[in-house]
Amino acid sequence: MSQPDQPDQPDQPDETADYVGIVRLQRAYADAVDRRDWAALHGLFTPDAVITLDLVTRPGREIVGPQAMGEFIGPAIEKYAFFEFVILNTHVELYPDDDRAAATARVFMCEIRQETGATERDDAFGLYRDRYAKGSDGRWRFAQRRYRSMGRFPSGVIFPLDAG
């Protein structure tokens, strides 16, 4: 039994596949950080990705590229006997300005952490505002990350977020 002819349809982006690809990228980042696998960052970021950090209580910092990102995070979390990067919520926007190779997201996260020798946890909450790029290979990568601290507990220090 033959199928009726289907009219030619222009290639349409597969929004579900793109959304899943971005969520997988976000989770792959969390997995790499949790395992402290800095080499894995190279497949997750564009080579020229800009990462901007606003920790509020310290001067801001800009990092370029996955190598520099790993070199920054690695020593920063060495003092923790326990460290877990947890994604709490994400909101992904596909194709800003009709660019089928771009997406943005807000990623709310928590670092569950306890310093070596400490008896209490010192958790940090924050927000990433991400921009993603879809490569010619069809894979999504971080092109830009802007991080801002939201609060630290148990100290109860809270930092209001800007509207941006």
CA distance 103 to 96: 6
pLDDT at 157: 92
- Which candidate, 151, 144, 147, places its Cα nearest to that of 164? 147
pLDDT at 11: 55
pLDDT at 2: 47
Burial class (CB in 10 A: 0-12, 13-18, 19+), 154: exposed
pLDDT at 13: 62
pLDDT at 162: 78
Contacts of 148 (CB under 8 A, 6+ apart): 54, 56, 126, 127, 129, 159, 161, 162
pLDDT at 8: 52
CA distance 53 to 127: 10
3-state secondary structure of 45: strand
Low-confidence ranges of the chain (pLDDT < 70): 1-13, 163-164
pLDDT at 107: 98
Q: Distance of CA 113 to CAs 6, 26, 66, 122, 128, Å?
A: 56, 20, 23, 6, 18
3-state secondary structure of 29: helix
Beta bridge partners of 131: 104, 144
Structural domains of the chain sorted by starting position, each given as residue range(s) with its CATH number in brackets: 15-156 (3.10.450.50)
Predicted confidence (pLDDT) per residue in 121-163, tens digit: 999 999 999 999 999 999 999 999 999 999 999 999 999 887 6
